[in-house]
Amino acid sequence: MIVTAHVEPRVVIGGVGATSGALWATDPSATNHLYNMDFGYPAAVGLGLAMARPELSVITLEGDGSAVAGMSVYCTIAANRPRNLTTVVFDNRVYGTGSAGFATPTGRGLRLEQLAESCGIPLELIHRVASLGELRAALPSLVDGGPSFLVVDTDTSDSRSGSRPQADIDFTECGIQFQRHLRERADTAAGSPGGSP
Amino acid sequence: MSQSTFPQNLAESLFHGLKAAGVRFASFLPDSSLYQLEELLSADHDVTAVQCTREDEGVAMAVGASMGGTRSVAVMEGTGLGFCGLILSRARIQCTPLLVVFSHPRGGLGERLAHHSTSMLASHACVSGLDIPLMIPGSVEGAADTVAQAVETAYGQRCLIAVGIPSFIPAHRAVTR
């Protein structure tokens, strides 16, 4: 994925459904990525990880429905300003479940970038892109001191839950590998052998 | 008859227990029972203390920090546990250790205020439904050991543990003769 490939060292937390399916399909990693974080929580989990591990670049990916469900965290992100956190929301304006026939709040007029600004995230750290060219142009500013907030305007081609890629790893396996990988990275940086926190 | 010296002594006991066990990340939603503990955590430069906007968000942040290898605690009034079923389920399934400290647990003493009823029922539903071990300190002085050993157990067993703080805790451990 263009965003996740642009920053190192990075970990990615993907939300449920299409975002984790696309993440797995393009860049499967059972160590750097946490897949299918539950609805409404990717940004909050990413915030806690970013604050606990300031040396990592933490990227969260989720759909607009999940983002709005957990939107209170944008106030907390704004209050704490972790420089190493990038929040990415794929906005297709529908809930990607079943027939994809139900509009999300953004499908009814909510503007996520205005929501983020209202919560206190600085306007210069908020971006909305609708093409690959715009995304590539926004990347340098995304990674140069966050917390960055990126809204990616997408279509609904992968919104039907039965016909899109899925991450081929379960919560337990993924969680254990992801956590072990983070511990090992910390131990390597500290020059010490692995162990429990 | 022993009397509770709650709240400041209890807050200090809990705080020292958390620090002694290596807790270095705390999320909290300010509440009237545990605010002294939240203030102690916020004032300590060794602890990253983050005020959340809703309790499940706070648990999610603590889950993230714990996954990153930092011993973490989520602090809240018991009502907040009612929001936390999904994220606590995820933490349990993916074996992320975590301590939750909350006020007004079912099974505690001194709960004379009717508006704590939802706190007691919601928190009970969450901890019992998810089979989260619940500890209630037996004394103010023992609260430090309770939270410290709860942290050690959570991180040793890679599980969730809850410590409930009721409105009444004896000032001293009872002496059996």
Could you report the predicted ipTM of this complex, rounded to two decimals?
A: 0.91
B52 contact residues in A (CB cutoff 8 A)? 44, 72-73, 76
Q: Which of A141-145, A157-161, B115-119 shows the lowest per-residue confidence on average (mean pLDDT)?
A: A157-161
What span, in angstroms and rounded, lies between the C-alpha atoms of A128 and A135? 8
What value does the mean pLDDT take over residues A26-41?
91
Using the Cβ of B156 and the Cβ atoms of chain A, whether some distance falls under 8 Å is answered with yes
Its pTM stands at 0.92
Question: What six digits make up the tokens of A111?
Answer: 């503007």
Using the Cβ of B72 and the Cβ atoms of chain A, whether some distance falls under 8 Å is answered with yes
Nearest chain B Cα distance for residue A102, angstroms: 23
Closest-approach residue (CA) in chain A for B73: A48
Higher pLDDT, A189 or B36: B36
Residue B66 has pLDDT above 90, yes or no: yes
Residue A197 has pLDDT above 90, yes or no: no
Q: Do A183 and B69 touch (CB under 8 A)?
A: yes
pLDDT tens-digit profile of B70-91? 999 999 999 999 999 999 999 9
Q: Do B93 and A171 touch (CB under 8 A)?
A: yes
A196 contact residues in B (CB cutoff 8 A)? 155-156
Reported in sequence order, the residue ranges of chain A that DSSP labels E, i.e. its strands, are 10-15, 33-37, 57-63, 85-91, 126-129, 148-153
What value does the mean pLDDT take over residues A34-43?
97
Closest-approach residue (CA) in chain B for A41: B60
What span, in angstroms and rounded, lies between the C-alpha atoms of B13 and A137? 53
Cis amide linkage into residue A147, ω under 30° from 0 = yes
Is A163 exposed, middle or buried, given 0-12, 13-18 or 19+ CB atoms closer than 10 A? exposed
Distance of CA A156 to the CA centre of its chain: 19
Closest-approach residue (CA) in chain A for B66: A49
Q: Are B66 and B98 in contact (CB under 8 A)?
A: yes
Beginning with the edge strand found earlier in the chain, give each strand of the sheet holding A33-37 in spatial order: A33-37, A10-15, A57-63, A85-91, A148-153, A126-129
Is B167 exposed, middle or buried, given 0-12, 13-18 or 19+ CB atoms closer than 10 A? middle
